[in-house]
Amino acid sequence: MTTTISFIIVLGVLITVHELGHFLVAKGIGLRVERFSIGFPPKMFGFTWRETEYCVSWIPLGGYVKISGENPEEPPENPDDPKVFTSRPVHQRAAVILAGPLMNLILAFLIMPLVFFLGTAVPTYLEKAPVAGWIQPESPADKAGLSPGDRILSVNGSEVRTWQEVLEKASVDGSLWMEVAGAGGVRSVSLEQDPEGESGIGILPSMDPVIGFVVKGGEAERAGIEEGDRVVAIGGIPVSDWNQMARIIHNSPDKPLTFEIEREGAARTFTVTPKKDESLGHGLIGISPKTETVTRRYGVAESIRLGTARNFELLGLTFSFLWDLVTLNSSIKNLGGPIMIFQVSGQAARAGLAQFLAFMAFLSLQLGVLNLLPIPVLDGGHLVFLGIEGVTRKPVNVNVRETAQKVGFFFLILLILVISYNDIARLLPGK
């Protein structure tokens, strides 16, 4: 029930805000709005107030605002009527189209700061002393000679007392130097960071190899591994740190591994074969570590700063992912659809209000960006037509528009089918 309600709230809010953008700008410049619908037909219920019908429809995959004269297949009786969409100049029509995606982006930038103000869960190790628990092989830290047990005293001349301070000071590109205290006393080391590297500087806190989450239908679950299990050894190699275990799994795609597990004081053995993740290029079995967290809250100004920065980070990741799709550097299998949203919205709701709002802000950003893609039937496609009209000083031929709309609609349906298949495939054993 929680999942269903949270799914309805997420989609309802995002769709309503999007369509409200179109509606408010259209009304604001004096256009006649015939219908404001949340969802696609058939209609569930509604009412009419003044000249607009407001309704909720059964198919919850979007919504629409019907403006007089907007549909070329339904020409208005009086094309010169100032309340008709086509009677307005290009910039006003573009403002109406752009308002929907823009409202989704604005919503995200309003919600995300609230997430930090309410409090976000952060790992407790960030507040602990920065003692190296694991050094990633071939990382800058490994090449500089750091070892597990070394205590980081300063980064680039600034004293550090917690892992949080280390991460903040070491986030710069290029070289950095540290003072560390270890078995040989205090020494200075220089690290050359690889901007293309995946492990950062390669110094990680100690993390017990205790499983905190098992992916449903994943390799670990199908082998019998459960949450709370402690991994003692893999393939006869003793395991003392989660990162050590992860490295073994990542380097063993499609190779059976024998896991020695401690469960409630009893020893158990399981055989698991890591499945190669095509996008990451290494093996995975569908587990994540058990981590203790603490809720960290921020003041208003800091929440706005962090929320804004987080949104720009997510926007960057979104554009990067889209580019990888276009250049075939990422698989379409990574796309998720309504089923995934349904599942994750429930998980986010159970995790708390802040997590739920963070998920809603993330989806709102995606909706805003994706609607701006230059695909006919999407807002971005309409903006392309208006851009052409603005340059040529005449509307795009109706037949050309209709053909483009049909192609765009076919593409959109095909995309929905693909992501729906991805969602269903994730639920099947072995996928």
Q: Which of 167, 140, 141, 166 is nearest to 153 (CA)?
A: 166
CATH superfamily of 211-279: PDZ domain (2.30.42.10)
> Comparing C-alpha atoms, which of 196, 253, 193, 247 is closest to residue 219?
253
Compute the distance between CA of residue 195 and CA of residue 403 in angstroms, rounded to an integer: 45
Average pLDDT across the chain, whole number: 86
Please give the positions annotated as active site.
Answer: 19
pLDDT-based confidence at residue 431 (cuts at 50, 70, 90):
very low
CA atoms within 13 A on the CB side of 324: 15
For residue 313, what are its two tokens? 């980070």
> Mean of the pLDDT values across residues 290-303?
87
Instruction: Please state the domain extents for the chain.
Output: 2-118+364-427, 125-204, 211-279
pLDDT of residue 196: 52
Look at the chain and count its residues.
431
Q: Specify whether the CB–CB gap between 53 and 32 falls below 8 A.
A: no
Identify whether 148 is preceded by a cis peptide bond (ω within 30 of 0): no
- Range in 264-268, 279-283, 286-290 the model is least confident about: 279-283
Closest CA to 399 of 73, 94, 69: 73
Model pLDDT for residues 134-165, shown as the tens digit of each residue: 888 888 888 888 888 999 999 888 899 998 88
Q: What is the mean pLDDT of residues 414-418?
A: 76
Q: Are strands 275-277 and 134-135 parallel, antiparallel or unpaired?
A: unpaired
Tell me what the mean pLDDT of segment 16-23 comes to: 94
The per-residue pLDDT for 337 is 65
Eight-state DSSP code of residue 124: G
Instruction: Determine the average pLDDT of the residues in 293-313.
Output: 91
For residue 55, what pLDDT band results from cuts at 50, 70 and 90? very high
The pTM for the full model equals: 0.74
How many H-runs (helices) and E-runs (strands) does the chain carry?
11, 18
At 84, is the secondary structure helix, strand, or coil? Answer: coil
Q: Is 85 exposed, middle or buried (0-12, 13-18, 19+ CB in 10 A)?
A: buried
Is residue 407 classed as helix, strand or coil in its secondary structure? helix
What's the Cα-to-Cα distance from 165 to each of 130, 195, 310, 355, rounded to whole Å?
Answer: 9, 20, 19, 24
The pLDDT value recorded for residue 330 is 66
- Establish whether domains 125-204 and 211-279 are of one fold: yes
CATH number for the domain whose boundaries are 125-204: 2.30.42.10
CA angle 353, 355, 357 (to 5 degrees): 70
Question: Span 180-198, mean pLDDT?
Answer: 77
Encode pLDDT of 77-114 as tens digits. Answer: 787 788 988 889 999 999 999 999 999 999 999 999 99
Burial class (CB in 10 A: 0-12, 13-18, 19+), 97: buried
* Cα–Cα nearest to 14, from 370, 417, 412: 370
- Per residue in 328-364, pLDDT tens? 776 666 666 667 777 778 778 787 888 899 999 999 9
